Every structure is written in C-alpha cells, then in structure tokens.
Amino acid sequence: MEKFEVVFLDDDNETILDKQLVDKGASVKYNGPTPEKDVINGIKYVFAGWTNEEKLENVEENLILVAKYADEDSTHNIEDDLFNATLESTKKMELNATISAGNKLSEQKLALEKDGRTPEEIVEDVIKNGKTELRDQNSKEDIER
C-alpha cells in the first residue's frame, strides 16, 4: 500500500514536532504534547490548530502542517463574542415570540369584547354545544382570527 509522510512543524517552519508515515486514504492525528509558543512582547499565545488541517482526514499526498497560534486575549474575545451573539439572538427570538403571542392575545381579546360575552360564557357554550361562534356584530376579520 502506498504511504505518505506527514510532518507537523512549529510556526518557525523548521522545528519538527511530529513525523509519521501514513497509508494512503488513512486519517492521521498529531502525536505529541500541545504545541506552545513563547510570550512575545508581553503577548501570550495559545495553539489554535494546523494549516491544512482538513487534509488530515484522508491523506492523499505528503503533507507538511504548520502549527497556528492565536493571541490568548483574542481567543477569549472570539469565544465571548460568539457566546454573547448567541445569547442576544436567543433573547431576540424569545422577545419576538412573546410579542407575537401578546399581539395574538390582544386580537382575540378585542374579538371577544365585540362579541359581548365573557370568555367564561363562551367556554360554557363550547362545553354545552361542542362549539361556538362569535356573534354577528363581529367583523369578518375578527372571525378569521
């Protein structure tokens, strides 16, 4: 079976972190400790993956993958931003659902008020007759709601 060489390099493009021979079509994973980068100008970096990471699932050629790093602060900010965006989106969806439900209830209340009966009277009518209809004084739009 054909084999390919997969080399994992640090971001200096020289330091070999891992090297493996892999069967064609096989997947491969990095075997080693999580890559680390020195603090530069007071900025701490964290490992953020590999270049061409998608090629690790189905190796079809010799590969050289280079470690990627991100500023630790920017990593937190990205995660925080994603969380906050999801939270805001959820709040907006819930608010829109609440407003829609409130509007529907207001429309139904107006239709009942025009009918002239209390909700209890309408419920009694439904229980007694199996159904009820709004009285004639309601507009066609009220009945359709």
Q: What are the start-end ranges of the E strands in 1-145?
A: 3-9, 16-23, 45-50, 63-71
Model confidence pTM above 0.75? no
Does residue 56 contact residue 65 with C-beta atoms inside 8 Å?
yes
Please name each of the domains of the chain with its CATH number. Answer: 3-70 (2.60.40)
CA atoms within 13 A on the CB side of 7: 10
For the stretch 31-82, pLDDT in tens is 999 999 988 888 899 999 999 999 999 999 999 999 999 887 765 555 666 6
